[in-house]
Structure 1
Amino acid sequence: MSWKLLYEYVYVPYSQNKSACVVESKTGRFYAGVRIENISYPLTIPAVQAACAICLSEGEVPAKIYVDDSDSEQLDYWAKEFELEIIETENPPLDKLEDLFHNSDIESDPLPKLKALLDKAVIPNSDFPVSALLFTKDGYFEGVNVEVSEWTHGICAERVALAKAFAAGKTEFTRMEIHTKKGEISSPCGACRQVISELLPYHELKLHHADGTLSEHLSIDLLPFSFKSSALKK
């Protein structure tokens, strides 16, 4: 199988540079990642970061990575962090990918799922678990925050859920729900707000706070002056 399928799922409206990869865990499970750009360029999620973070969020440890280009962004870091075997290939194992889409019905009360997900957060630095559910009309994707030794290469729960969705080719979202068990409020960080404002621009966000309360917002209201520019291509 070629990379063609995953290339259809990338979000690269600014560079047009398509990139994808597949991570194989130590237990032999396979996770895809695709490049997801943002109009605020530094917030772009490289394919390698996406795939490795997805693997870690599922309680697995990356062992091998199949790439379309040995110069893929962040590849050196993640390969060193987990001693990955790098396999550059034109035929990735797409037929073995894990299905991370959940079509079970938790519409009436997602909070128990959000609470259970907190145990899967990879948080050696902050000890601050966050969970997120990203809904489509048919089901949802799960996300937890993932931290690694290089703090700038960690990724938030909201963006892990988005990375899973894009790698599966499902991008017609309805809402996102977020939960933390610590802190004053459960709320996306500024970086996630910028990403959400582009990928879920007028969508409902439900924030399940640590004190048991719930607040509901439109994504645009959480970052009313998000970066936009007609000078950049999309």
Structure 2
Amino acid sequence: MPDRLRAHAQACAPRSHVPYSGRPVGVAALLADGRWVAAPRIENASFPLTISALQGALALAALTGETVVAVAASVPFGPTGLGEIEQAAGGAWALAAPDLAVRTDVDRPEPGEPVGLTVDLPPPPSVEGGAALALAAADRAVVPASAFPVGAAVEDDGGRLVVGANVEVAGDWTRGLCAERTALVGAVAAGLGPIRRVYVACSKAPGGTPCGGCRQVLAELAPGCAVVVWRGAEAPEVTTPEALLPGAFDGRALGRQGGIR
């Protein structure tokens, strides 16, 4: 099990978006049913908004509803890594190796098939269909603190699509991810190309818009895309990252920029 899970983490690392550090990282999480999910590091010029590979993998795993039983990284875990895993995944954990954490109170299967990240829009594909898919994705939200489920979907130029929902970590609000960012993590992990549309939907706030943090991440990872916001009985609202966050800091002053390619 360890070597196969490590291999999945290593394979995901090259998909990292690391224009600032140049240091790719991949993390793979093994689920109790044998499936696994991996995520790469995604950096942002607004440094606190950087999504670590560990945070991304744990968020994607949480959306499955399955128990996480092991986590491997392409590099050794940092000093807080084990604590982050325990807080997000629950249970008792230990480091079996510097790059491998295992849950000690459950059995661990051999890694099998990956969690499927891409989905298809029901035909015929449409903006309304994408918004409806984002709304349905909100059912996967893990929101113990806010009880405010949000769904999102990311579509690339090739028509491939990944959905996400907001994931909260009980006891530590800062370790959660909004739906837009979870969907973007999945999109990068799945190897999607340039982003064409991002859909956002929340049944408790039709017409709500991405938070400031997500606006910055969208401005960097999906510049020029259409941001489609579900508006309930009304037609979806369509805007752009540039309209949502005029004058966003994009990294050019640091000598680096660009979105998902």
TM-score w.r.t. the length of structure 2 is 0.80
Structure 1 residue 232 displacement after superposition = 1.4
Match in the other structure for 1:117: 137
* Residue among 60, 71, 89 paired with 1:54: 60
Distance 1:125 1:140 in 2: 28
Structure-2 change in CA distance of 1:14 and 1:148 (3 Å): same
SS at match of 1:37: coil
Shift of 1:104: 4.4
The offset of 1:182, in angstroms, is 1.1
- Amino acid in structure 1 at the alignment position of 2:70: K
Query: Residues 101-127 of structure 1, C-alpha deviation per residue, up to 9 Å, x if partnerless?
Result: 123445222343233222211011111
Residue deviations 1:159-210 (CA, integer Å, cap 9, x gap):
1111111112223211111101113632110000000000111110110024
- CA distance, structure 2, for counterparts of residue 190 and residue 65 of structure 1: 30
Would you say 1:7 and 2:13 are equivalent positions? yes
Say if 1:79 and 1:90 are closer, same or farther in 2 by CA, change over 3 A: closer
Q: How many residues align?
A: 233
Kept after mapping to 1: 8 A contact 2:10/2:73: no
In 1, the alpha carbon distance for the partners of 2:15 and 2:60 equals 16
Structure 1 residue 4 displacement after superposition: 4.7
The residue aligned with 1:101 is: 118
TM-fit CA distance, 1:144: 0.2
CA contact (8 A) 1:25 1:61 kept: yes
* Aligned residue identity for 2:60: I
Structure 1 runs (4+) greater than 6 angstroms displaced? none
1:153 Cα deviation after fit: 0.4
Give 1:89 shift. 7.9
TM-superposed deviation, 1:138: 2.8
CA 1:192–1:62: 2 relative to 1, 3 Å: same
Q: 1:198 aligns with which of 220, 239, 253?
A: 220
Gap change, CA 1:74 and 1:210, over 3 Å in 2: farther
Q: Deviations over 1:128-153 (max 9, x none)?
A: 11000100223200010000121000
Q: Secondary structure at the match of 1:196?
A: helix
Q: Report the Cα distance in structure 2 between the residues aligned to 1:162 and 1:87, rounded to whole angstroms.
A: 30
Residue 131 (structure 1) aligns with = 151
The aligned amino acid for 2:195 is: F
Classify 1:85/1:161 alpha carbon distance in 2 versus 1 (closer, same or farther; 3 Å): farther
The alpha carbon displacement at 1:7 in A equals 2.4
**Are residues 41 and 94 of structure 1, via their aligned partners in 2, closer, same or farther at CA, if it must alter by over 3 Å?**
farther
| Offset of residue 29 of structure 1 | 1.6
In structure 1, what is the Cα distance between the partners aligned to 2:252 and 2:134? Answer: 37
After TM superposition, give the deviation of residue 225 of structure 1 in Å: 2.0
Residue ranges of structure 2 left out of the alignment (5+ in a row):
101-109, 257-261
2:236 matches 1:214:
yes
Amino acid at match of 1:103: D
* Alignment correspondent of 2:103: none
Identify if the C-alpha distance between structure 1 residues 94 and 182 changes in structure 2 by more than 3 Å, giving closer, same or farther.
same
Asked if 2 retains the 8 angstrom alpha-carbon contact of 1:46 and 1:74, the reply is no
SS in 1 for 2:254: coil
What amino acid is the match of 1:146? V
- Aligned equivalents of 2:247 and 2:80: distance in 1? 30
TM-score if structure 1 supplies the norm length? 0.89
